[in-house]
Structure 1
Amino acid sequence: MDLKLRPSFFFSFLIFIFLLQKPALVSASSSKCISIERQALLTFKQSLTDPSGRLSSWSGPDCCNWRGVRCDRRTSHVIKIDLRNPNQTVYSDEFKQSCLGGKIDPSLTHLKYLSYLDLSSNEFNGLEIPEFIGHIVSLRYLNLSFSSFSGEVPASLGNLSKLESLDLYAQLWPSFDLRASNLGWLSGLSSSLTYLNMACLNLSGAGENWLQDFTRLSKLKELHLSSCGLKNLPLSLSSTANLKLLEVLDLSENSFSSLIPNWLFDLTSLRELFLQADDLKGSVPSGFKKLKLIETLDLSNNGFTGGIPAVLGGLPQLKYLDLSGNSFQGQIHKFLDAFSKNKGNSLVYLDLNYNKLVGTLPESLGALRNLQILYLASNSFTGSIPSSIGNMTSLKQLDLSYNSMDGEIASSLGKLEELVDLNLMANKWEGVLLKSHFVNLRSLKSFSLTTEPDRSLVFKVPSTWVPPFRLELISIESCQIGPTFPMWLQVQNKLNSVTLRNTRIADKIPHSWFSGIASVVTSLTLENNRIKGTLPQNLVFPNLITIDLSTNNFEGPFPRWKTNAAEIYLYQNNFSGSLPLNLGDLMPRMERIYLFNNSFTGEIPLSLCRVTGLHILNLRNNHFYGSFPNCWRSSSELYGIDASENNISGEIPESLCVLPGLIVLLLNQNALEGNITNTLQNCSSLTHIDLGGNNLTGKLPSWPSKMSDLFMLRLQGNSFEGQIPDDLCIVPSLHILDLSENKITGPIPKCISSLTDIVQGQGFENEQGIVSVITRNSKYQEIDYSINLSGNNITGEIPSEIMDLSYLRILNLSRNSIAGNIPGNISKLGRLEKLDLSRNSFSGAIPQSLAAIYSLHTLNLSFNKLEGTIPKRLKFEDPSIYVGNELLCGKPLPKKCPRY
């Protein structure tokens, strides 16, 4: 029978087919997930800890709608589990709270169709990777990265013959030592794996042939092996090696200590190559010219030497090149010329920081028209910025800092409208900066410029000019901006970091400028200018960490700024008035406060005692009066106090010895009084004590003997009496002893030779640096290894034991009643620089051996009872150092010696 099918038949047939299929689609979309798989997921959930409730949706009948679970739409089988931590801000509280933990239950093996498993960025706290994961043979994607696994990677992973992507990246800190000592299991993945990340995984036990195991992965496109403890980079590969498809290779941060092997240049599919921090050495081979597809090349932080090869400039696809942190030498003209000849050059990022490159920057630099980032810092470039830089219109970041560039700054910089970050600090710039340098820098947010103090770099910008940019960081040093505080600075109200040091500003700064930046600024440095006027009061600086207004002409009261600043430098100004009584509450997190060389008055606020993190308190050379606070029971971190040169009275508070870390106490030149026999006896950590120039009385204290690290003891200019106690001899670390201008009697103790550090030249190398940090004054560095007992009533003779102090540099025994001869073996003090024995009762001849102390440059023997001829080898021509010795004769005295 001959039937003719009408078009309507085909339409009806299609509807019929659709209706047959529709129930399956409805079933899949509404999903009734497979019972055995739902139970497997619930069992898996029960083994986990979930502090943030990420798995709270894992309930009810439809597991396909659970968070992180995906089912096949046709079969309803679970095919994907994605439990990656949703918060990727590592180590933040939110990250830790979102971490899953606990154990991984074998119930996952019941998910026979699971192809995707991601448990990354969680916290399994040293759990070993379960061996049974290697039995989920349907897996194509496995990510266990950054989840604190430890132990040996199970060889069972080699059973995952369908696996295309494997990520085992392990964090370096805290390290749980996830390792792979045998890589043979990788061969089981040879026909499928395209992505492998084993970064930070310990491969040090994999042997010298570790690379051979990876070369069997013939389909591999990405291989990440950074920070794996690898120490051997083979210079050749076997003929069976096959990595021809490799596009990304990361071998960074290992310890190869070798040349770049030639087999790398056979990987002609490479797009990204990371070899930074691998202790590679030698020159960069010309073989890189074979890598025509390379886009990213990182060879930073190695030991490469020689010039930068021009071949790198000829790579047609290169976008990112990092050669920083090496020892490349010579000029970069040929290297940059190669880019200029490479018409299709697409370089976006170039980092040559921290090398040994020299010479001027060539005009060919301007050919890098696509460059966005250019880092040339910490080399030895000289000359000027080439004018061609104005052609680099894509440039966003330019860093030429820490070079020796000594020319002018090209005005063509002003054409770079995309420039965001400009760093020209630490060079030797000269010349003039005009409005044309800045007029088009609409995107500029960070500007750093410093030159040397003996250079002349002057801003000649109209004082009323308003620039197109609003900076977030400005750092200018040793350049002339002033004397006015120009409008282009006044309008910068988004600054979070300000450094204007030695810029010759001698103007008043409007209070509105301070209030305009108060909410955002984190660092405010206006040091070493001539800025005058007052500071605004009662501002709030919520983010401020450092305030440095030192060495200016600010006047008026202390700024009552509420801030969490840690470092406060207001020294060398004309501030006056008393400090706020609630200073410690206004600035509760201060660690260092320097107020010296001002005109502050009043009492020291007790609220300072409540600043628990205070490290250094420097109030030197002001007009503070009243007692020194006796409340230091909470300032456990305070280690340096300098309140010298004030009018502080009363006794030294015993609560200072509650401070466990107090090492420097300088209260000299005040009006302190009382007997200190027991005051500081429990301050065992002190290394520097200066109580000179006060009204202290009583006998010299014995408590220094309890201070095993005492470096300096200065008690000069008081009214101490009695003999020098033998206890002072048992402070072996003592370098500086000054007991001058007191009422001390008796002889110099013979035990003085027990000052071991002065005998042997030992001691703390950093002690003087510590006191300089606390005082911001280097005067203490000039009197190391010194003893000053002048201006007392010491009797007896110089003990022979003092000659054992062979490293002594300064000895002052003047204005005492010491008698006897100057020791004939005084030349044993072979490092002595200053010797003052004036105004005593020394007799006999000046010993010839005194002339053998070649370091001696200051000598005073006046007003004694010395006699005889002045030794000819003593090259001192000032007669005043010998006057008052009637029986002395010879040059430089006018009295000639008789001939016999």
Structure 2
Amino acid sequence: MKGDGRCLKLFLALLILFLQNVKGGEVGHNHNHSHSLRDAKVTVRCIERERQALLAFKRALVDHFNHLSSWGSEAQKQDCCRWEGVYCSNQTGHVIQLDLGYSFPAKMIQLDLGYYHKYPFQGKVISPKLIELQHLQYLDLSLIDFYGIQIPDFIGSLTNLRNLRLSSCHFIGPIPSSFGNLTQLQNLDLSYNQLQPENLNWLLALSSLTDLDLRANNLSLPPPPTPILSTTLYKTNSSTSLENVHLSDNHLTSSIFLWLSNYSTSLVSLYLSNNNLSGFIPDFIGNMSSLEYLGLSDNKIEGANPNSFARLCNLRTLWLQRNHLSGQLSQLLPRCAQNSLEALDLSENVLAGSLNNLTSFSSLKALYLDANQLSGKIPESIGQMSQLKYINFSINQLSGKIPESIGQMSQLEEIDFSMNSLEGVVSETHFLKLSNLYHLDLSSNSLVLNFHSDWVPPFQLSYINLASCKVGPLFPKWLQTQNHSSQLDISNAGISDILPSWFWSNFRNAGVINLSQNLIRGIFTNLTVEFPYNPELHLSSNQIEGPIPSTLLQASYLDLSNNNISGSLSFLCASADMSLTYLNLSSNSFAGELPDCWSHLETLVMLDLSNNAFSGKIPTTIGSLFEMQTLKLRSNRFVGELPSSLKNCASLEVIDLGDNKLSGPIPTWLGKLGNESIIYDDDASFIWKGRMQTYKSTLGLVKRIDLSSNRLTGEIPSEITRLVGLISLNLSRNQLTGQITPEIGNLESLDSLDLSRNQIDGRIPTSLARIDRLSFLDLSYNNLSGKIPTGTQLQSFDPLDYAENPLLCGPPLKKMCADQNETTD
């Protein structure tokens, strides 16, 4: 996610730079041009047949927001040159521009307000009457939903077109060959459709084309077996007009380079990200002396040849993130662009080497090298890179100290050095001139932050992550100066102090607060702060005492586990309109009965109250938590039967009620739970394979039931075998009787089965031997009899897994069956 936000930020910044350098044909009409056309409408009226053509076009559209209200037949609307999105020649009155695309005023308002839940215009046909607009030079229908129709052929008859934009229209099928008639076309944008052209030979005729955008289509889907662009595009003439090519998000292979070799001197920007490019970047790329923007991210590129960047002396942006690049970092650096390169992203590859060769790139503003295998120290000379705004060296093997010279880099806005082996002291000097800094991540290093108690930082941070750094033992007072933080993580930071009174009001606008795994002590005294953004609050593994204030229930995620919190949970009954999805109060000092008022926590997905001293019956209203996927009440003193209301929790996939005093039979409705839901993606612990196991971010694939160490009686219901996705079933240490159901083999996903220390009798079903994923089995201390079924899995377990079943025989037990021919069922 972090990488996606970074790319968007870079894209928007560079798009502005890009548009500033693209010819007028790319922009289509600038503001001065638009105003001159609009002013001309005072004296020029539109042509009647063109007005009728536009009205026919409007009639074929569904205008959800009445954006075309200025288009009409009424007397005051007769002049189509005054219609929104229509521009006429001030000399002839002919319509020369129809712009209903991204720059259409009403659409711009929607984009600003984030209204794009539906397309503003929809239509199942483009009226062929548009062919009357023979003087049209600019046509933009982007973001009109045409319901998966094909681009009509008559568009190719509008031969005066200079700019044609049909982006994000849901067009399918081929691109009309009639496009070859658009010989004056300078800009063509067909991006974000589902076009799958039979060929692109029509490009041969477009000798004036400077900008081509075909991103996010199906340019090279098999069949045909030979990619389209490798067999047609490379045949085009060696026109030097093409400057900007965007072919990202297709299925292109490295054969695209055959065609690109025709444009080695004219291209200014080239984007081929998210394709199927592989191998090495070819040498001829190095001959693209005009190239300023090169995007090759999200491919399978393995490296660059020595001459791949030889003459790219004007290169401003190089994106190679998320490839298979290996070798030394220095081999990927475009030396010729030392004075021009502004953005370099080589993240998420397997590059090695040091950072020593970077400081000569004096114009760099964005440098991303995260998730590689870089080693060595951050050089002191990095302070010479005075233009840097964004720097990310995270997830590498860097060591040593952070150089103090970084404090001189006054343009820095983002620093991410997380997940390395950096050490040493970080002081005020490191931030001396960083007044623009808003993102700081030094987490997962061995750094010691040592600031004077009265230090006032020059910055206002939005994102602070100092997890696993030495921030304490005192709570960092400088945080009181940070009033605009959206995320704060100082977990596992060696803090053994009382949480200061100013903290909650200072960070009330944060979306994430993580203070876990410290020794923070004290109580929540008179806490009444309002949290407008329903934050995630991670406060586990501290020494917090006393009751929980109801104000914390404004959170969407609340983890107070492993503290010394006590008191009643009755405050849950008084809270309304909660958006709480995750509540973890495990391993505290709670006691007494649970309040029976859970029905208004309707958004709750995960509830963990384990390892406390709760008693009484499980409240029936817990069964009204219809979204709940994980329920953990382990190691309490609950009594009685499992409430039947739990059968209403159809999303339940993790049930851990072990180590209580529950009684009665195992309910049959357990077999109907959790068959279609997706589990909450967070850490969870279970008694599995005889010991406590913790699973991180894997619960989307698991279903587990733990009812161990209770007083349950009766037989194991056969309905449980309907849970074909069950991975762990622990019913040990109860008073269960009867036989193991023969349908046990239906649990094909089962990895762990523990039925030990019950009173189960009869034979082991042969179907159990069919579960080839079973890696843990404990049937000991029961009354099982007969021969252990023959199967690779069952004979591979330790004899102790079958111990204390006096009438059981056969491998792996040493006790042989009296009749070697004895059947197992």
TM-score by length of 1: 0.74
1:379, distance to aligned residue in structure 2 (A): 1.4
User: Which residue of structure 1 lines up, in the alignment, with residue 474 of structure 2?
Assistant: 484
What is the alpha-carbon distance in structure 2 between the residues aligned to residue 127 and residue 843 of structure 1? 74
What is the alpha-carbon distance in structure 2 between the residues aligned to residue 389 and residue 65 of structure 1? 57
Percent identity reads: 33
Change (3 A) 1:677 1:318: closer
The equivalent position to 1:725 in structure 2, one of 729, 739, 763, is: 739
Change (3 A) 1:437 1:84: same
What is the alpha-carbon distance in structure 1 between the residues aligned to residue 122 and residue 799 of structure 2? 68
Change (3 A) 1:313 1:405: farther
Which amino acid in the other structure matches residue 786 of structure 1?
Answer: D
User: Which residue of structure 1 lines up, in the alignment, with residue 237 of structure 2?
Assistant: 241
User: Which residue of structure 2 lines up, in the alignment, with residue 837 of structure 1?
Assistant: none
User: Which residue of structure 2 lines up, in the alignment, with residue 358 of structure 1?
Assistant: 352
User: Which residue of structure 2 lines up, in the alignment, with residue 754 of structure 1?
Assistant: 766
Which amino acid in the other structure matches residue 291 of structure 1?
Answer: M
Q: How does 1:19-30 map to 2 (within 5 A)?
A: 29-30=42-43
1:714, distance to aligned residue in structure 2 (A): 4.2
User: Which residue of structure 1 lines up, in the alignment, with residue 71 of structure 2?
Assistant: 58
1:79, distance to aligned residue in structure 2 (A): 2.3
Which amino acid in the other structure matches residue 461 of structure 2?
Answer: L
In the alignment, structure 1 residue 640 sits paired with structure 2 residue 636: no
Note the alpha carbon deviations across 1:580-604, whole angstroms, 9 max, x for none. Answer: 4436955733333221101123433
- Higher RCO (Cα < 8 Å, 6 or more apart): 2
8 Å Cα contact 2:728/2:751 also seen in 1: yes
What is the alpha-carbon distance in structure 1 between the residues aligned to residue 41 and residue 456 of structure 2? 66
The equivalent position to 1:79 in structure 2, one of 75, 96, 102, is: 96
What is the alpha-carbon distance in structure 2 between the residues aligned to residue 521 and residue 656 of structure 1? 35
Of 473-482 and 628-637, deviating more is: 628-637
8 Å Cα contact 2:395/2:418 also seen in 1: yes
The equivalent position to 2:781 in structure 1, one of 764, 789, 792, is: 789
1:487, distance to aligned residue in structure 2 (A): 1.6
8 Å Cα contact 1:626/1:648 also seen in 2: yes
In the alignment, structure 1 residue 763 sits paired with structure 2 residue 757: no
User: Which residue of structure 2 lines up, in the alignment, with residue 652 of structure 1?
Assistant: 642
Which amino acid in the other structure matches residue 531 of structure 1?
Answer: I
The SS at the match of 2:518 is coil
In the alignment, structure 1 residue 69 sits paired with structure 2 residue 58: no
What is the alpha-carbon distance in structure 2 between the residues aligned to residue 522 and residue 550 of structure 1? 17
Change (3 A) 1:313 1:708: same
What is the alpha-carbon distance in structure 1 between the residues aligned to residue 351 and residue 143 of structure 2? 42
The equivalent position to 2:714 in structure 1, one of 699, 711, 724, is: 699
1:483, distance to aligned residue in structure 2 (A): 0.3
Which amino acid in the other structure matches residue 79 of structure 1?
Answer: I
What is the alpha-carbon distance in structure 2 between the residues aligned to residue 265 and residue 136 of structure 1? 28
The SS at the match of 1:305 is strand
The equivalent position to 1:317 in structure 2, one of 314, 317, 324, is: 314
Note the alpha carbon deviations across 1:516-542, whole angstroms, 9 max, x for none. Answer: 221x21111112111111236343323
What is the alpha-carbon distance in structure 2 between the residues aligned to residue 487 and residue 440 of structure 1? 20
What is the alpha-carbon distance in structure 1 between the residues aligned to residue 273 and residue 213 of structure 2? 17
8 Å Cα contact 2:623/2:647 also seen in 1: no
Change (3 A) 1:92 1:708: same
The SS at the match of 2:422 is coil
The SS at the match of 1:611 is coil
What is the alpha-carbon distance in structure 2 between the residues aligned to residue 583 and residue 427 of structure 1? 46
Change (3 A) 1:729 1:262: closer
8 Å Cα contact 2:312/2:334 also seen in 1: no
Of 407-416 and 67-76, deviating more is: 67-76
What is the alpha-carbon distance in structure 2 between the residues aligned to residue 809 and residue 279 of structure 1? 49
User: Which residue of structure 2 lines up, in the alignment, with residue 166 of structure 1?
Assistant: 188
User: Which residue of structure 1 lines up, in the alignment, with residue 680 of structure 2?
Assistant: none
The SS at the match of 2:442 is strand
The equivalent position to 2:50 in structure 1, one of 37, 58, 74, is: 37
User: Which residue of structure 1 lines up, in the alignment, with residue 118 of structure 2?
Assistant: 96
Q: How does 1:302-381 map to 2 (within 5 A)?
A: 302-306=299-303, 309=306, 312=309, 315-333=312-330, 338=335, 345-362=339-356, 364-381=357-374
User: Which residue of structure 2 lines up, in the alignment, with residue 411 of structure 1?
Assistant: 404
Note the alpha carbon deviations across 1:103-136, whole angstroms, 9 max, x for none. Answer: 3223223334333222221112123323333333
What is the alpha-carbon distance in structure 2 between the residues aligned to residue 209 and residue 617 of structure 1? 53
The SS at the match of 1:561 is helix
What is the alpha-carbon distance in structure 2 between the residues aligned to residue 415 and residue 688 of structure 1? 54
User: Which residue of structure 1 lines up, in the alignment, with residue 15 of structure 2?
Assistant: none
Note the alpha carbon deviations across 1:716-748, whole angstroms, 9 max, x for none. Answer: 55555xx53353774653665555566x48xx4
In the alignment, structure 1 residue 533 sits paired with structure 2 residue 527: no
What is the alpha-carbon distance in structure 1 between the residues aligned to residue 163 and residue 297 of structure 2? 32
Change (3 A) 1:296 1:472: same
Change (3 A) 1:563 1:153: farther
User: Which residue of structure 1 lines up, in the alignment, with residue 195 of structure 2?
Assistant: 178
What is the alpha-carbon distance in structure 1 between the residues aligned to residue 741 and residue 674 of structure 2? 17
The equivalent position to 1:451 in structure 2, one of 444, 447, 461, is: 444
Of 387-396 and 678-687, deviating more is: 678-687
The equivalent position to 1:437 in structure 2, one of 430, 440, 457, is: 430
User: Which residue of structure 2 lines up, in the alignment, with residue 464 of structure 1?
Assistant: 454
TM-score by length of 2: 0.80
User: Which residue of structure 2 lines up, in the alignment, with residue 12 of structure 1?
Assistant: none
1:268, distance to aligned residue in structure 2 (A): 1.3
Which amino acid in the other structure matches residue 430 of structure 2?
Answer: H
The SS at the match of 1:81 is strand
Which amino acid in the other structure matches residue 534 of structure 1?
Answer: I
What is the alpha-carbon distance in structure 1 between the residues aligned to residue 295 and residue 491 of structure 2? 36
8 Å Cα contact 2:745/2:771 also seen in 1: no
Change (3 A) 1:31 1:397: same
What is the alpha-carbon distance in structure 2 between the residues aligned to residue 479 and residue 592 of structure 1? 27
What is the alpha-carbon distance in structure 2 between the residues aligned to residue 460 and residue 280 of structure 1? 48
8 Å Cα contact 1:265/1:291 also seen in 2: no
User: Which residue of structure 2 lines up, in the alignment, with residue 252 of structure 1?
Assistant: 248
Which amino acid in the other structure matches residue 315 of structure 1?
Answer: L
Change (3 A) 1:800 1:789: same
What is the alpha-carbon distance in structure 2 between the residues aligned to residue 165 and residue 681 of structure 1? 62
What is the alpha-carbon distance in structure 1 between the residues aligned to residue 799 and residue 532 of structure 2? 50
What is the alpha-carbon distance in structure 1 between the residues aligned to residue 301 and residue 243 of structure 2? 24
1:645, distance to aligned residue in structure 2 (A): 1.4
Size of the aligned set, in residue pairs, is 738
1:631, distance to aligned residue in structure 2 (A): 2.7
Change (3 A) 1:120 1:373: same
User: Which residue of structure 2 lines up, in the alignment, with residue 473 of structure 1?
Assistant: 463
1:577, distance to aligned residue in structure 2 (A): 0.8
Change (3 A) 1:809 1:589: farther
8 Å Cα contact 1:424/1:448 also seen in 2: yes
User: Which residue of structure 2 lines up, in the alignment, with residue 232 of structure 1?
Assistant: 230
The SS at the match of 2:465 is strand
8 Å Cα contact 2:576/2:600 also seen in 1: no
8 Å Cα contact 2:208/2:241 also seen in 1: no
Change (3 A) 1:263 1:676: closer
Change (3 A) 1:789 1:586: farther
Which amino acid in the other structure matches residue 166 of structure 1?
Answer: L
Change (3 A) 1:788 1:498: farther
User: Which residue of structure 2 lines up, in the alignment, with residue 131 of structure 1?
Assistant: 153
User: Which residue of structure 2 lines up, in the alignment, with residue 118 of structure 1?
Assistant: 140
